[in-house]
A = this chain, B = another copy of it.
Amino acid sequence: MESRNFILKGDIAYSKTQTRLLTSENSYLVCEKGKSAGVFPSLPPAFAGLPLADYTGKLILPGLTDIHMHAPQFTFRSLGMDLELLEWLNRHAFPEEAKYGDAEYAHLAYGRLVEHLKQGPNTRICFFATLHVPATMILMELLEKSGLVSLVGKVNMDRNSPDILREADAEASAGATREWLGAIEKNGPYKNTYPILTPRFIPSCSDDLMRALSAIQKQYALPLQSHLSENQREIEWVRELCPASSSYGNAYAQFDLFGAQTPTIMAHCVWSDKKELELMRSRSVYAAHCPQSNINLSSGIAPARRFLELGIPTGLGSDVAGGVHTSIFRAMTDAIGVSKLRQCLIAKDEAPLTLEEAFWMGTLGGGSFFGSAGLPGNTAATGSFDPGYEFDALVIDDANLTAPFRASVEERLRRVVYLSDDRNIVAKYVRGNPIK
């Protein structure tokens, strides 16, 4: 199955639209040159010569995309969960990230992370690394070898951070970013691993640094990721730091680092008001909805229903280690769960997310960023099996999840989302390449 032209046979499900699943029992999913050629109830003669992997009775789903994760924080998942964001950063995240100045530690820790991710259901991930160039390169090389597709950001941070984890000034930080981009050009380019600009968040980036990053963004046409309106104290802090900005989002936008010509993911958006949401929509800024992290760090519940209503592009993030679970199946059920609590407790007019909507977010919702991020080559979106999408697929053996009654493909999918773990994944393809 090393060729990227092949057929999978089984019970297929994917999001046809944000609200509608398409299911096709005992059908054929065709991969051509790493992209989907479509789903067929019976095999068209044109594909008759391709090798076929027979997964009859098993589920075939799109791979999942995690659009917000901190790679160095994998090591301390579940620790420090009694703290809110800013204390948690200072007491756990920053000291741990500082350790990645040691390449040996980075190799050990990132090695474990990548091995873990290969086993799970995610096929694509947008990573924050640390500010360290060598450690970020180690992560990228491990990821490239893994077969997973990823965007990786060397983090920029030149203020309001501890001495152990802060770049000297804007020039030093931007210089390190150019050095990193140079190393990528020299080592690669990688086939599946791309750089993404990553100013940590407004509080840790000076205006000079943001200006320098804007110049780098324009020169390299890079996508960008950062954090937005996660925690009320954080927002208050941004207001103090940026008195000239009309909102947290505007503090990025004034440097052309908030969507529009800069493909952008903003994590959280828990407390974004109407105006900030409208700014995201008008600039096609992606919301990375990270429900588990928003629970664990007592941040709140993001208005995911509003994201969808307004047409803000939305994907799911694990936000490890604010979140502790890497699987985007878990993020789907967390997203549904918190949306129910949001309606029940504080927003009666916001209907809870359905399974269909959460599944869309975790597949095509986030996967579409890879088609709009301006990545090199013939790069398309993933997360759908419609023709032309990049072929990320999971084969799931759900035999241990079945009931003593006949369940539809849709019901089986629900069970997989809520109940499966990595043992249920019997095969995993990324861009048509098998990686498990």
Contacts and interface: CB of A to CB of B under 8 A. Distances in A.
B341 A411 contact: no
A76 B403 contact: yes
Of A325, A337, A411, A419, which is in contact with the most chain B CB atoms at under 10 Å from its CB? A337
A78 interface: yes
A212 B338 CA distance: 42
A299 interface: yes
A255 interface: no
Given A81-B414, A298-B352, A324-B418, A404 B108 contact: yes
Contacts of A337: 292, 295-296
A77 interface: yes
Interface residue tally on A, bucketed by range: 35 or more
A355 interface: yes
Contacts of A414: 78-79, 81
Interface stretch (A1-9, A124-132, A159-167, A343-351): A343-351
A259 to B, nearest CB: 28
Contacts of A366: none
Contacts of A338: 295, 341
B77 A419 contact: yes
A405 B79 contact: no
B109 A404 contact: yes
11 contacts: A75-B405, A82-B352, A99-B405, A109-B404, A295-B337, A295-B341, A298-B341, A298-B343, A345-B345, A345-B346, A421-B421
Contacts of A354: 82
Interface string A61-91: 0000000000000011111011000000000
A285 B404 CA distance: 36
A298 B344 contact: yes
Interface string A94-114: 000001000001001100100
A340 interface: yes
B78 A344 contact: no
Number of copies: 2
A108 B404 CA distance: 7
A332 to B, nearest CB: 11
A345 B82 contact: no
A210 interface: no
A300 interface: yes
A120 to B, nearest CB: 13
Nearest to A400: B116
Interface of A: 75-79, 81-82, 99, 105, 108-109, 112, 292, 295-296, 298-301, 324-325, 336-338, 340-341, 343-346, 352, 354-355, 403-405, 411, 414-415, 417-419, 421
A75 B109 contact: no
B77 A336 contact: no
A28 to B, nearest CB: 27
Q: Determine which residue in A296, A300, A340 has the highest number of CB atoms from chain B within 10 A of its CB, and name it.
A: A340
A419 B75 contact: no
Nearest to A77: B419
B298 A418 contact: no
A314 B344 CA distance: 24
Contacts of A81: 336, 355, 414, 418
Nearest to A356: B82
Nearest to A99: B405
Contacts of A77: 415, 418-419
